[in-house]
Amino acid sequence: DQGMMTAGTLVTFAYLFRLIAMPMRIFAWLLGLLPAAVVGKQRVNAVLNDPDTFFYGSDDLEGEGGTRAHAQSVGYLHPETTLRDLGEEAAEVRPATPSENGDRRGIEEVSFLTPSGQTIALVGPTGSGKSTLAQLLVRLFDPDSGTILLDDIPLSNLSRRSVAESAALVFQEAFLFNTTVKENISLGRSYPDQQIERAARIAQAHDFIMELPEGYESRVGERGAALSGGQRQRIALARALVRNPRLLILDDATSAVDPAVEASILAGLSNLDTTVVLVAYRRASILLADEVVFIESGRIVARGSHENLYTHIPGYAALIDAYEVGA
């Protein structure tokens, strides 16, 4: 009656307030996340609903061991940039301005043959078309002209399963999932532990994996945040090797690895019955290749041994020396 509160009433009020405070805070937090979630859903749907422009054949590669890759007068220019707000599923696509688009890069009239089981190094300055050629070899996109063949079968005639099982591409930036090392290597497929360990050993990843708290069962964090750049690259390489690909393409996939470890990796790859195409910069890596293909401005300028190109091709020699000085 006089506005006074007993000790028991105060304790009861404080207890009840504590019970409802946390749900209220969680509800406010969820309300804050809701706008971002709606926008994210729209952007994901825009990607998932994009029509598939790839059509696969029904042929399969026969046999085992390294496959023979053959590029015949291959040309490709990256399409002009178009800009679209992915948050609007029916948004109008507008061409980019010249300042936004920059120079269109690609390759022109590229022809070369990679014998089965050999290691080929693609060397060239930045923007010369090395990565474009590497991605064309696994059909991330189709060439504008010419044909790429694996074991004399046009890449476009192969089935999706055959391309996925026969060719593997490892990028410089390795993407790892927030799960265990083992699951990052297997990517949901069932491989024997011995096969996973063998792939990790070839990639020079086994030793540091065993030093992790739980070995192959250790979680690597979001995008592999618990690992260094070189460790992430080696796990990504093991992910490709565990499938026993017949064509393995390394697009500067060991750039964060020290030269001694890289040499051990390439030496291990040389013992596999696999055709290897590597985008290389370091002299030590190039020396381990059976043949070097020098690319400049989207065209193959020369091919041969490192010694021959270094002696007779000034542009190649200057590039190798520049990388040596930069290192």
Predicted pLDDT of residue 91: 47
Of 176-190, 260-274, 307-321, the least confident: 260-274
Please give the order of strands across the beta sheet that includes 291-296.
Answer: 167-170, 247-251, 275-279, 119-123, 291-296, 299-304
DSSP for residue 61: -
**Element of type H or E holding 167:** strand 167-170
In whole angstroms, give the CA distance from residue 151 to residue 141: 19
Token output for 205:
């990843």
Residue-level pLDDT at 100: 44
Output the pLDDT for position 98. Answer: 43
pLDDT at 3: 66
Domain ranges across the chain: 69-78+86-326
Least confident of 36-50, 89-103, 153-167, 255-269: 89-103
179-200: burial string, b at 16+ Cβ within 10 Å, e else: ebbbbbbbeeeebeeebbbbbb
Sorting pLDDT into bands at 50, 70 and 90, what band is 29? confident
- Confidence (pTM): 0.76
- The arithmetic mean of pLDDT across residues 127-143, rounded, is 90
Q: What is the CA radius of gyration of the chain?
A: 26
- pLDDT tier for residue 93 given thresholds of 50, 70 and 90: very low
For 219-238, write each residue's pLDDT tens digit: 988 888 888 888 999 999 99
Distance CA 136, CA 174 (A): 19
List pLDDT tens digits, range 34-88: 888 898 888 888 888 877 677 888 888 887 888 899 999 899 988 766 666 655 5
* pLDDT of 25 above 60: yes
- Percentage of residues in the chain having pLDDT higher than 90: 35
The tens digit of pLDDT for each residue in 256-290 reads 888 888 888 888 888 888 999 999 888 888 888 88
Evaluated on CA atoms 135, 198, 225, 230, the torsion sign reads negative
The encoded tokens of residue 213 equal 């708290």
DSSP state of 187: T
Specify the 3-state DSSP secondary structure of 54: coil
The CATH class of the 69-78+86-326 domain is alpha beta
CA distance 320 to 72: 27
